[in-house]
Chains A and B, each alone.
Chain A
Amino acid sequence: MASRKAQKERLRAERLRREAEEQAATRRRRLVQYGSGLGLLAVIVVVVAIVVSQSGSSASGAGAGGNVVDASLVSKQLQGIPQDRTVLGNPGAKVTVIEYGDLQCPVCKAFSFDVAPNLISQVVGKGTADYEFRQFPILGPDSIPAAKAALAAGAQGRYWNFVELFYRNQGEENSGYVTDSFLTSIAQAAGVRDISKWNSDRQSSKWDAELSKTRSDAQALGFNSTPSFVVEGPGGKKVLGSGVIPLSQIESAIESVQ
Chain B
Amino acid sequence: MPSERALRLTAAVLAVCGIGVAAYIAIADASGSAPACLAGGHGCETVANSRYSHLAGVNVAVIGVGGYIALLLAAGAPGDLGRFAGLLVALVGFGFSVYLTYLELFVIDAICQWCVASACVMTLLLVVNAWRMFGYAGRDRLPAIGEPG
Contacts and interface: CB of A to CB of B under 8 A. Distances in A.
Contact of A122 (B42, B50, B92, B133): B42
Contacts of B137: 31, 34
Nearest to A246: B109
Contacts of B52: 53
A39 B56 contact: no
B95 A43 contact: yes
B84 interface: yes
Contacts of A76: 32
B55 A53 contact: yes
A114 B146 contact: no
B91 A38 contact: yes
A57 B142 contact: no
Residue from B56, B91, B149 with most neighbouring chain A CB atoms (10 Å):
B91
- Number of contact residues on B: which range applies? 20 to 34
A49 B96 contact: yes
The secondary-structure label for the interface of chain A is helix
Max chain A CB contacts within 10 Å: which of B32, B50, B51, B55?
Answer: B51
Contacts of B46: 117-118
Contacts, number: 86
Contacts of B138: 27, 30-31
B71 to A, nearest CB: 13
Contact of A117 (B50, B87, B91, B95): B50
Interface of B: 32, 34, 42, 45-46, 49-52, 54-57, 84, 87-88, 91-92, 95-96, 99, 107-109, 133-134, 137-139, 142, 145-146, 149
Given A34-B84, A121-B45, 9 more contacts: A20-B145, A34-B133, A35-B133, A42-B92, A45-B92, A56-B57, A117-B46, A117-B49, A118-B42
Interface of A: 16, 19-20, 23, 27, 30-31, 34-35, 38-39, 41-43, 45-46, 49-50, 52-53, 56-57, 69-70, 72-73, 76-77, 79, 113-114, 117-118, 121-122, 168
